[in-house]
Structure 1
């Protein structure tokens, strides 16, 4: 038995265990248990994170060939099976967090996916929606407009979200102006004491 064989076996076992955990999370999600799905997804990531690229190549999951280049000569990042699995897990986690209205976690998990695949428009939509719910209306609208342009099939849901966040942005702007108008109409003494507070 060579030194590589136990390493290959351990790596393959980690990948298989991660797949099983992901499947368990998928089942929980399908049953509507979005909170229960998060733990198996998290556990799956623990098995996948940090797997050595050389070990992956030795079991045929990666490629030892130099990365291919696009027409401009830039390296195209080739995804391994593990990369794709991690991307799917984070995408599923972002869906769970969206259902649970945990907006900051939606953004964090969406960013993990988008760092590997910037054309994952479903996840980009989730990020835009979460940013809008967090009060970053302008940023949300910009992201959602990209989704609408690149993924016309999602136009109805995107248009609804854009309309909602534009309305909320106008309302908060109006409230801010009214507050400032009230502040500017106060006598000078009140302004000074309010500014000191």
Structure 2
């Protein structure tokens, strides 16, 4: 033999070349071809998804706070001069409307001037305002206790028709106030001063 290798050495080298390298896969994995989940990988996915959701929530909160601070009014409220206004989306009687405003940290709107009245005019045809003579008939007071000094009443109003019109509504047809029965259901406007 010129190469200096005997037959046994050649066979050993060939056997060594044809053997599969040791694998980290179990015999079951090798047969089925499916790699089982690595312990902790599922937990890692849950943590990653949770973190992603937290990021989305944080971004939404940041946007909400930015708008609130920029505009000075909470989302869903409208700014005019130094007040925030909430326009109801359902009809309620005067007392329920006032209660809804109080729950929102506000009160039924007090119309202080013609500019504010013009701003509110673009809403519903009829809506409750924070004016009534519930305590003393004929003495109209705003919900903050101040008396009505310059009211823009509709022609012939307040007339206390049928002896039971103790709450005031804004009537868009006349661009003025009207006295109405407090049990009637109307939209309403809540007002709160900007903080």
Establish whether TM, by shorter chain, passes 0.5: no
Q: Which has the higher strand share?
A: 2
Bigger relative contact order (CA 8 A; separation at least 6): 2
State the structure with more CA Rg.
2
Normalising by the residue count of structure 1, what TM-score does the alignment of the two structures yield? Answer: 0.30
Q: Which has the higher helix share?
A: 1
Normalising by the residue count of structure 2, what TM-score does the alignment of the two structures yield? Answer: 0.30
